Amino acid sequence: MKILSLGWALCALAVIVLIGYALNRGLFVGSAVDVSMREGEGKFLYSKSCHYLYLSGVRDITFGSETYSREGAETTSCALLGNVN
């Protein structure tokens, strides 16, 4: 019986460590396409902003470069963890 309870305690500890690691690295929670206009050109530029949940809150990170089409920005993928270097 003690071995079984020790196993559950180790499993719970492993889950807590994994959740802490994911929140420390930044866990992907969503994305949005941002629109801007370049001064003087009159054209819209689109970029994708990925939202990551950290222990300190939600942070927006822009991936890729600006494109002239919304579809081009939407095809940019976001990493599952935010601090991937």
Tokens of 17: 């460590």
Q: What is the pLDDT of residues 40-64, one digit of tens each?
A: 677 888 888 889 988 888 888 887 6
pLDDT under 70 in the chain at which residues?
Answer: 1, 39-40, 64, 84-85
Whole-structure pTM over 0.95, yes or no? no
Long-range CB pairs of 13-17, under 8 A, 24+ apart, other chains included:
none
